[in-house]
Amino acid sequence: MSLELPLHGVRVVALEQFGAGPFATLNLADMGAEVIKIEDPHTGGEVSRFVPPYRLQGDSLYFQSWNRNKRSLALDLRKPEGKEVFHDLVRIVDVVFNNLRGDQPAKLGLTYEALGHINPRIICCSLNGFGSRGPKAAEPGYDYLMQAYAGYMSITGDPCGPPAACGVSFIDHAAGFAAAAGMIGALYAVQKGEKGGNVQVSLVDTAYSMLSYLAIWNLNRGFEPKRYPGSAHQTLVPVQTFRTADSFLTIFCGKGKFWELLCEAFEDPELSADPRFSGFEPRFKNRDLVIEAVQKHFLRKTTAEWLEVLAGKVPCAPVRSLTEALSDPTLHERGVVVQVEHPRFGVLREVNTPVRFGEPRKDHAHAPTLGHDTVAILKNDLNYPDARIEALQQARVICF
């Protein structure tokens, strides 16, 4: 592949905030797309700029994490002059993206029905909580709500405790990936000569789609998943976390040979020969007996000792703290952590998006200050004369 990033030349206008939306366009920006964030100059810009704990005036590490390699246009879309600027942008870009509430894009004129006459090739992508139709379309949607609403919390956590949420906003991020994939798919269709159109992604649909095998079991056979100790898999045994002599270890015996190799590592031929544990179905039926036997063995050694014994034989991993996980030296070797120069925060280390094209990209730019690119976009991209830019500023339609 050439050194040029694959989305170089693609231009995206984004009305976005918080996690799912900015994460969607971050993936596009890291692949070379020009992402222009439209931010409200009267509110101080996108709300993520104000999220603690690590904040400066008008900026935060929270905001920086999702807005690398983007541009900022501070524009008031409520004013007619602001709408004119927005429509001029629509003429020269490829995608208009938003993650507003499901009822808002049509009201604000962000759909293909409203913008297709301006640019027939425009792609209008909406990422929202509950879709653009139906009784919940006007409701705001957030990751934590979706983990509750789509059933995730009911199957997460210790069975003796309350339902639990995942410690990171994974539905937000998954929906961001889905939206990025949808936009890239639509861009490919336009490249083949088709017209633009609407791309719809919702948090709730993303959450339901990831229920996958649990959903097909439930919908067709009434399977009701449970919470098991050790965050165990619903049906594969043993696939879970075990206590060792000093901490915790997670194993994945997802194939028959891994069970045999685990019994070998335990030096327990009787366990291997026991007919009650001789296949997926018997181990599932005798889950409690399997777990009891395996747990006794794991308590004999430390996690480090077991990792040495099981390495290359049984899939396993230590349960690491976030600091331990992010201190792994291989992250830098694989380009998982990138460095970005920031004028006020200094050198920032950030996690990269996961798609690689050849060598990892090294020219990352920090997330922009509010309105940082306003003048450049109006002057160089839209060819506005200085007098018009000054008039827009005096009318408080823009700021920079």
Tens of pLDDT along 338-361? 999 999 999 999 999 999 888 878
Task: Supply 201's token pair.
Answer: 């992604």
Does 313 reside within a domain?
yes
**Regions of the chain with pLDDT less than 70:** 1-3
Nearest Cα neighbor of 22 from 132, 105, 99 is: 99
- 147 and 53 share one domain: yes
- 343 and 371 share one domain: yes
- 391 and 261 share one domain: no
Rounded Cα distance, 173 and 273, in Å: 44
| Residues belonging to the active site | 172
- 301 and 338 share one domain: no
- 23 and 108 share one domain: yes
Q: Is the Cα torsion angle 314, 318, 319, 325 positive or negative in sign?
A: negative
Q: What pLDDT score does 358 carry?
A: 83
Q: What pLDDT score does 2 carry?
A: 46
- 272 and 154 share one domain: no
Strand ordering across the sheet containing 34-39: 197-202, 123-128, 95-98, 11-15, 34-39, 70-75, 398-399
Rounded Cα distance, 34 and 8, in Å: 7
Rounded Cα distance, 381 and 275, in Å: 72
Instruction: Give helix 170-191 / helix 20-30 axis angle, nearest 10°.
Output: 50
- 102 and 194 share one domain: yes
Domain extent at residue 273? 229-243+248-318
Q: What pLDDT score does 3 carry?
A: 60
Residue type, 107: K
- 156 and 121 share one domain: yes
Which 8-state DSSP code applies to residue 172?
Answer: H
Task: Supply 385's token pair.
Answer: 């004369």
Nearest Cα neighbor of 223 from 211, 215, 231 is: 215
- 301 and 185 share one domain: no
Q: What pLDDT score does 93 carry?
A: 98
Of the CA atoms within 13 Å of residue 276, those in its CB half-sphere come to: 10
- 260 and 311 share one domain: yes
Does 44 reside within a domain?
yes
Q: Which residue bears the tokens 């059933």?
A: 151
Which 8-state DSSP code applies to residue 380?
Answer: I
Strand partners, 202: 128
